[in-house]
Amino acid sequence: MIDVPLNRFEELVAEALDTVPPDLAKVMDNVVVVVVDDPPEPGLLGLYTGIPLTERGEWYSGVLPDRIEIYRNPTLEICETEEDVVEEVQITVVHEIAHHFGINDERLHELGW
């Protein structure tokens, strides 16, 4: 297990977000990405909570933002180097953003994520 301070981990998440293609980033809507130390259940590296873009209709108004949580401690537990952390954060961020776009786990696995 590697130790990466919270502020550095947050930087890594921000860097991963910066790699999202601009055309996709500009259509992300009403979503916040946060770093949390521990997940609500073991084994999670990230979690998307909200209403995917593909399920929003005319009724969608005045709702709280969707939330993407990236879990620091479980990520650090499976990584040995900062390069491992960078890679795992990138994968987790892409995975959770895909859920925001309505892509489920099965499809993500088909796509190699």
Q: Do the bridges between strand 46-49 and strand 31-36 make them parallel or antiparallel, or are there none, so unpaired?
A: unpaired
**Encoded tokens for 42:** 């073991």
DSSP string, 31-51: EEEEEESS-SSTT-SEEEES-
113 pLDDT more than 80: no
pTM, full prediction: 0.93
**What is the C-alpha to C-alpha distance for residues 113 and 108, in angstroms, rounded to an integer?**
5
Mean pLDDT of the chain: 95
Q: What's the pLDDT score for residue 97?
A: 97
